[in-house]
Chains A and B, each alone.
Chain A
Amino acid sequence: MTRLAAFLMCSVLAAPGLAQELRATGDMGVVVERATGSVLIVDQSDHAALARVEGFGDLSHASLVFSPDERFAYVFGRDGGLTKLDLLTQKIVGRVVQAGNSIGGAISDDGKLVAVANYEPGGVNIFDADTLEQVAAIPAGGKALGLEDAPGRRFVFSVWDTGETRIVDMSGAEPKVTTLTNIGAEPYDALITDDGRTYIAGLFGEDGLSAIDLWAETPTARRILPHYGRGQQEMPVYKMPHLEGWAKAGDQIVLPAIHHHEVLWIDARTLEETGRTQTHGQPVFAMARPGGRQVWVNFAHPDNDTVQVIDSMTHQIVGEMVPGPAVLHMEFTARGTEAWVSVRDENKVVIYDTTTLKPIGEIAAESPSGIFFTARAHRMGL
Chain B
Amino acid sequence: MPDRAALLLALLCLAAPAIAGEDAVGPADARRLEHLVLQDCGSCHGLTRKGGLGSPLTPEALAGQDRDLIATVILDGVPNTAMPPWRPLMTEAEAYWIADYLLKDVKK
A contact residues vs B (CB 8 Å cutoff):
34-35, 58-61, 78-79, 100-101, 103, 119-120, 143, 160, 186, 188, 204, 236-240, 301-302, 326, 344-345, 367
Say if the beta carbon of B84 comes within 8 Å of chain A.
yes
Using Cβ atoms and an 8 Å threshold, which residues of chain B touch A238? 40, 84, 89
Say if the beta carbon of B17 comes within 8 Å of chain A.
no
Using Cβ atoms and an 8 Å threshold, which residues of chain A touch B42? 60
Known: A61-B52, A186-B82. 10 other contacts (CB 8 A): A58-B46, A60-B43, A79-B48, A101-B46, A143-B53, A238-B40, A239-B40, A301-B89, A344-B39, A367-B39
Report how far A236 CA is from B89 CA in the complex, Å. Answer: 11
Say if the beta carbon of B26 comes within 8 Å of chain A.
no
**Partner pick for B46 among A35, A78, A186, A188, CB 8 A cutoff:** A78
Q: Are A236 and B84 in contact (CB under 8 A)?
A: yes
Say if the beta carbon of B85 comes within 8 Å of chain A.
yes
Say if the beta carbon of B50 comes within 8 Å of chain A.
yes
Q: Residue among B35, B82, B88 with the most chain A CB within 10 A?
A: B82
Using Cβ atoms and an 8 Å threshold, which residues of chain B touch A186? 82
How many whole Å from B44's CB to the nearest CB in chain A?
A: 7
Report how far A58 CA is from B52 CA in the complex, Å. Answer: 12
Q: Are B53 and A188 in contact (CB under 8 A)?
A: yes
The interface residues of chain B, by DSSP majority, are classed as: loop
Q: Are B47 and A119 in contact (CB under 8 A)?
A: no
Q: Are A236 and B88 in contact (CB under 8 A)?
A: yes
Q: Residue among A79, A160, A239, A301 with the most chain B CB within 10 A?
A: A301
**Partner pick for A119 among B39, B53, B77, B84, CB 8 A cutoff:** B53
Using Cβ atoms and an 8 Å threshold, which residues of chain B touch A59? 47
Q: Are B52 and A103 in contact (CB under 8 A)?
A: yes
Task: Given A237-B84, A239-B40, A344-B39, decide whether A58 and B53 contact each other with a Cβ distance below 8 A.
Answer: no
Top 10 nearest A-B pairs by Cβ distance? Answer: A60-B47, A236-B84, A301-B40, A239-B43, A60-B42, A238-B84, A236-B85, A237-B84, A58-B48, A78-B46
Using Cβ atoms and an 8 Å threshold, which residues of chain A touch B40? 238-239, 301
Q: Are A240 and B82 in contact (CB under 8 A)?
A: yes
Q: Are A119 and B52 in contact (CB under 8 A)?
A: yes
Taken residue by residue from 55 to 95, chain B's Cβ proximity to chain A (1 for < 8 Å, 0 otherwise) reads as 00000000000000000000001000010110011000000
Using Cβ atoms and an 8 Å threshold, which residues of chain A touch B39? 326, 344-345, 367
Chain A, Cβ-Cβ closest to B88: A236
Report how far A159 CA is from B38 CA in the complex, Å. Answer: 26
Report how far A301 CA is from B39 CA in the complex, Å. Answer: 10
Using Cβ atoms and an 8 Å threshold, which residues of chain B touch A58? 46-48
Using Cβ atoms and an 8 Å threshold, which residues of chain A touch B88? 236
Using Cβ atoms and an 8 Å threshold, which residues of chain B touch A240? 43-44, 53, 82
Report how far A54 CA is from B23 CA in the complex, Å. Answer: 39
Q: Are A60 and B46 in contact (CB under 8 A)?
A: yes
Chain B, Cβ-Cβ closest to A103: B52
Task: Given A236-B85, A237-B84, decide whether A101 and B52 contact each other with a Cβ distance below 8 A.
Answer: yes
Say if the beta carbon of B51 comes within 8 Å of chain A.
yes
